[in-house]
Every structure is written in C-alpha cells, then in structure tokens.
Amino acid sequence: MSAQRGGIHHNRSSLKEREDHSTMGIDSTTKDRRRTRAGRRHPLASVALILAGLVTTGGAYALFTSTATAGTANTAIVQQQLVEEGEALFAANCASCHGANAEGTGEGVSLHGVGAAAVDFQVGTGRMPMAAQGPQAEQKPVQFTEEQIDALAAYVASLAPGPEVPDESLFEGEADLANGGELFRINCAMCHNVAGAGGALTEGKWAPALMGVEPKHIYEAMITGPQNMPVFNDLNLSPEDKADIIAYLKYMEETPNVGGFGLGSLGPVSEGLFMWIFGLGAVVGVTVWIAARAN
C-alpha cells in the first residue's frame, strides 16, 4: 500500500520522503544502475584501488615536495595568514552563534568538519551570517568580499577536514545535457520542481528556485547539503554527473522559454489562474461590450 499512497498523496508523502532523505543525508532515489554497478565490484577491488591510490599520491607528493619546497613554504605562510584573517572575521561575525571555536552553541551548529565548501556556499549565497532565527536561513545580499569568504573558509577548514571548494575545472567544458536532465528529475525535482522553480517543504521550510545560482554554489550545495537538502557525495553522483546537472540547469536558465512566457514555471496552477483571470476576463469583457453596444 505504501507505494500506492506515494502516488495518491503525492504532495504530502513525498514531503515526508524528503525529510527522510535529509535526516539520513543520503539519497535513496539515485538510479539503481549506479548501485548495481558499485555492488558488482569485487571486494578485493577496493583494496587494490586504495593501494594504487596511495602509491600514486605518495609518488606525486614526493615529486612535488622535491621540486617545489620553496613554493610550499611560501603558500604555507600565505595560508597561515588567511586562516588568521578568517579567525578574526569569524570571531567578529559568526562566533556569537557558532561559538568562539566554531564548536556550536544553542544558536548555531558546530562547524567542525563542514569544510570550506559549506562556508563558501553559506556565506557566498548570503545565507550566513544568519540575520534572524526562522524556519530556514534567508538569503540576503552577500556581506563579505571574495577574499574575506576565502579567509573564513580557510579558517573553518583548518579546524577539521571537510569538503573543499570545488575547482572551476570540475564543471566547465563539455557536458551531457540529457544525463543532467534525467539526474535532475530523479534527484532534485521532488524538492526543487522539474523546472527548478522551487517547492515547499514541511514546517515552513522550502527548497529555493535554482535559476541564477552560480555553478560553484550549485556544486557546493550538492556536496554539503545545506539544511534540509541531502548530501550528494561522489558515490551518489559522480563529479561528471554533478557537472551534467549544472550544465542542464544553466541550459534551462539561458535558453529562452519555448512557446512563450513561462508564467513562473509553476505548471497547471499558474496556467489555470491565467486562463480564469486573463483569458476568461478578456472574453467576458468582449461579451459585455457587445451587449452594451446592442442596447
């Protein structure tokens, strides 16, 4: 019966589903294809992979340190300055809620392990510093410069390891629009709407519209899962999949609507209202005019 109810009360039960996703932080709707592919891997394969990984990174590290010792020393100093600057900014703007060492208080969550990506997303989209307690952090005009955001991110990242700010190269270049569209419909549309127009969640929360969001922030949203949004790690959606989704969203944003004005991409509700108010309104106006002329 439960599958069936999913169909009937599509709105409410899918809301519940969304909550489940977000609390678990995993994505159960990702295509089965992916899961079976992962499941078929031989147990020893992982070990082999890790070994290979260690050998190559170790090798690369050795190479890197030997050729650019001077450079790293420099970057380390720059990095240290950045962290210190971030610490100061953090103490002034964020510590009241997140605690002096970002360990969390009653007002705000702990930021240990959220990573630079989370800070870059939250501050870069104007969500943080949060202005007022509400069901969800509101988006405001961004309050910090690019450098200050980097500093804050560096500081939070220095506390505990977490997802890094993604490199531009991850979502630039060729992408598979069809794959992006399909993955978007499967993984994101239940909260954000198929056209990315946004949707309601429970308890006054909402999934925002996705038009006009920077590619970097879309990527960060997926890897950090802000608030009620689930985390889509690289096993759920590979970096290429993420790039495809971003390309699809950008395609939707940049191509003009086919067939005329989209009425907010809200589907049948805005279409019905439009017909009642403007369509029927125009036609009734004409009838009144004709009848008035006749008298």
Partner 1 sequence: MRFTNAAASYIDERTSISGAVRELGRKIFPDHWSFMLGEVALYSFVVILISGTFLTFFFDPSMSHVHYEGSYAPLRGIEMSAAMASTLDISFDIRGGLLMRQVHHWAALLFVASIGLHMLRVFFTGAFRKPREINWVIGFVLFILAMAEGFTGYSLPDDLLSGNGLRIIDGMLKGFPIVGTWISYLLFGGEFPGLVVIPRLFVLHIMLLPAILIAALGLHLLLMVINKHTQFAGPGRTNENVVGVPVMPVFAAKAGGFFFVVFGVLVLIASFFQINPIWNYGPYDPSPVSAGTQPDWYIGFADGALRLVPPGWEFVLWGWTFSFNILVPVAILGLFIVIVAIYPFIEAWVTGDKREHHIAERPRNAPTRTAIGAAGVTFYAVLWAAASSDLMATHFRLSIEGVIHTLQALLFLGPLIAFLVTKRVCLALQKKDREIALHGYESGRIVRLPGGEYVEVHQPVSEYERWRLVSYEDYAPLMIRPNDQGRITLGMRMRAALSRWFFEDRISPATKGELEQGGHH
Q: What is the DSSP letter of 149?
A: H
37 counts as binding partner 1 under rule CB under 8 A:
no
Residue 197 DSSP symbol: -
What amino acid occupies position 64? Answer: F
**CA pair distance 251, 70, nearest whole angstrom:** 44
235 contacts 38 by C-beta, under 8 angstroms: yes
Q: Which of 82, 87, 98, 157 binds ligand HEC (CB under 6 A)?
A: 98
Does 39 contact partner 1 by CB under 8 A?
no
292, two tokens: 């008035």
Establish if 93 lies at the interface with ligand HEC (CB under 6 A).
yes
Q: Which two tokens stand for residue 122?
A: 């939250």
- Reading the block at residue 249, the tokens are 């969203």
Q: Which stretch binds ligand HEC (CB under 6 A): 2-10, 44-52, 187-195, 261-269?
A: 187-195
State the minimum distance, in angstroms, from the CB of residue 203 to ligand HEC. Answer: 11
Within 156-215, the residues that bind partner 1 by CB under 8 A are 177-178, 180-182, 185-186, 189-195, 197-204, 206-207
Q: Which of residues 134-173 bind ligand HEC (CB under 6 A)?
A: 136-137, 152
Report the distance separating Cα 196 and Cα 200, nearest Å: 12
Neighbours of 191 (CB within 10 A): 23
Cβ 31 to partner 1, closest distance in Å?
9
Task: Name residue, tokens 């006749």.
Answer: 294
Contact of 117 with 152, CB cutoff 8 Å: no
Interactions with partner 1, residue window 242-261 (CB under 8 A): 248, 251-252, 257-261
Interface residues toward ligand HEC, by CB under 6 A: 18, 21-22, 93-94, 96-98, 107-109, 111, 114, 118-119, 122-123, 125, 127-130, 136-137, 152, 187-188, 190-192, 201, 205, 207-208, 210, 213, 217-218, 221-222, 224, 226-230, 232, 245
